[in-house]
């Protein structure tokens, strides 16, 4: 594998990273049990808590974002517990798989892929199954480009006194995520998406209602992901020191940009991408009323083959993502998260147009780039 000319990563993780993150990874290692690192570690956790405006406990797990999801289910779901798994894409489907892995009884609420789940959908399911204890949702469904109305869902969960477990992997750091205000009991996150560092860290926030369940359990079927161990000692096992360096640097960059400015930038990037795609003549896969601000999913015309199209773009130096699960080969996805700016969006759209022209779908080039640039121009006024 060649490393001298890496592609521009426009996939939803791992993402295009700022040079300051690479620099952070090159710093010398120090002992993780030294007072200096312990202070640095706690400071990093507090910075992350500030990002999501939580007073609840947050833990950093050395593992991918799935480690945080795994930990969430392992710690609260006992065999036989009923869990309402909202399934509307490949990543919300992961909650279903984890529920079954730990012996929970899954009650599936299937939502059409590309559509949002609403509070009333949750309420109807809870009325039919009053002994459900937990609800799982994916806040930003990366596989379809949908941003679910999490605040609305949180109100329903609290009204029915259910524990709400949320995947915030591709929303934390790129969009508003307020777990305390929105009644999340557990929030799982990851490092390689909007936070913008390499894969290898899972973040998990645990609220008081979840702790009541964890503390009452006689047995938690995990050693490494047992949250009681992390509460006793935030570093019960050796952490990835370079990842903590990088996370601290990323959180510092977020503070420097200003969180409101960061969310606004992500929303502008998302809007410009969607308008560019529509101007090209392609259809958005997700319901635009609930479109993600960090990733856009696009439906293929019947005449375009997925691998051929994405290879044509990759050959020109940009990597975009295909579909997953039952929509594999039917869509492609463009990420616009972390430090992506108008430059990366315009380059990506121009290569999409060139690839479509090369494959005989598009004759007149430039409409997508022009539409996106108009969004950028309007937001500079």
* Terminal CA-CA length for the chain: 44
Confidence of residue 89 (pLDDT cuts 50, 70, 90): very high
pLDDT tens per residue across span 246-268: 999 999 999 999 999 999 999 99
Q: What is the pLDDT of residue 1?
A: 58
Distance CA 62, CA 215 (A): 23
Q: What is the pLDDT of residue 4?
A: 73
Relative to beta strand 318-319, strand 8-9 is parallel
Distance CA 367, CA 319 (A): 21
Distance CA 141, CA 139 (A): 6
Distance CA 16, CA 7 (A): 9
Q: What is the pLDDT of residue 380?
A: 86
Distance CA 360, CA 342 (A): 27
Q: Are 168 and 195 in contact (CB under 8 A)?
A: no
The pTM of the full predicted model, rounded to 2 decimals, is 0.97
Q: Are 376 and 342 in contact (CB under 8 A)?
A: yes
Distance CA 81, CA 93 (A): 18
Of 210, 54, 56, 220, nearest to 134 by C-alpha is 210
- The distance of Cα 96 from the centroid of its chain, to the nearest Å, equals 17
Strands (E), the chain: 8-9, 57-62, 82-87, 105-110, 134-138, 140-141, 146-147, 163-167, 186-190, 201-206, 283-284, 295-299, 318-319, 321-322, 331-335
Mean pLDDT, residues 374-379 taken together: 96
Confidence of residue 381 (pLDDT cuts 50, 70, 90): low
Residues facing 86 on adjacent strands: 109
Q: What is the pLDDT of residue 2?
A: 65
319 burial (CB, 10 Å; 0-12 / 13-18 / 19+) is middle
Evaluate if residue 3 carries a pLDDT over 80: no
Ordered domains of the chain (ranges, CATH): 8-12+258-378 (3.90.1150.10), 19-256 (3.40.640.10)
């Amino acid at each position: 594998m060649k490393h001298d000319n890496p592609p521009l990563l426009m996939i939803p993780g791992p993402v295009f990273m700022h040079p300051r993150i690479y620099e952070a990874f090159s710093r010398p290692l120090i002992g993780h049990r030294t007072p200096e690192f312990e202070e640095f570690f706690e400071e990093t956790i507090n910075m992350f808590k500030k990002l999501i405006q939580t007073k609840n406990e947050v833990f950093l797990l050395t593992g991918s974002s799935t480690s945080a999801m795994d930990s969430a289910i392992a710690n609260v779901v006992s065999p036989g517990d009923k869990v309402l798994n909202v399934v509307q894409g490949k990543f919300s489907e992961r909650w279903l798989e984890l529920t079954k892995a730990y012996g929970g009884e899954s009650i599936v609420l299937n939502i059409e892929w590309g559509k949002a789940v609403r509070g009333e959908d949750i309420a109807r399911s809870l009325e039919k199954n009053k002994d459900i204890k937990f609800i799982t949702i994916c806040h930003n469904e990366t596989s379809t480009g949908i941003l679910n109305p999490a605040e609305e869902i949180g109100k329903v969960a609290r009204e029915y006194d259910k524990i709400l477990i949320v995947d915030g992997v591709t929303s934390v750091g790129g969009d508003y995520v307020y777990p305390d205000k929105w009644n999340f009991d557990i929030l799982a996150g990851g490092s390689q998406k909007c936070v913008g560092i390499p894969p290898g860290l899972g973040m998990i926030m645990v609220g008081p209602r979840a702790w009541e369940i964890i503390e009452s359990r006689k047995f938690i079927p995990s050693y490494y992901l047992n949250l009681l161990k992390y509460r006793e000692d935030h570093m019960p096992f050796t952490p990835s020191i370079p990842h903590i360096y990088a996370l601290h640097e990323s959180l510092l960059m977020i503070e420097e940009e200003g969180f409101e400015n960061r969310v606004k930038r992500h929303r502008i990037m998302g809007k410009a991408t969607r308008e560019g795609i529509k101007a090209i003549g392609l259809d958005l896969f997700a319901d635009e009323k609930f479109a993600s601000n960090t990733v856009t999913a696009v439906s293929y015309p019947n005449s375009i083959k997925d691998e051929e199209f994405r290879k044509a773009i990759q050959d020109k130096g940009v990597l975009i993502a295909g579909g997953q699960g039952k929509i594999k080969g039917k869509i492609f996805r463009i990420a616009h998260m972390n430090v992506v700016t108008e430059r990366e969006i315009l380059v990506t759209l121009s290569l999409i147009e060139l690839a479509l022209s090369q494959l005989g779908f598009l004759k007149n080039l430039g409409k997508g780039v022009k539409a996106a640039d108009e969004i950028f121009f309007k937001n500079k006024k």
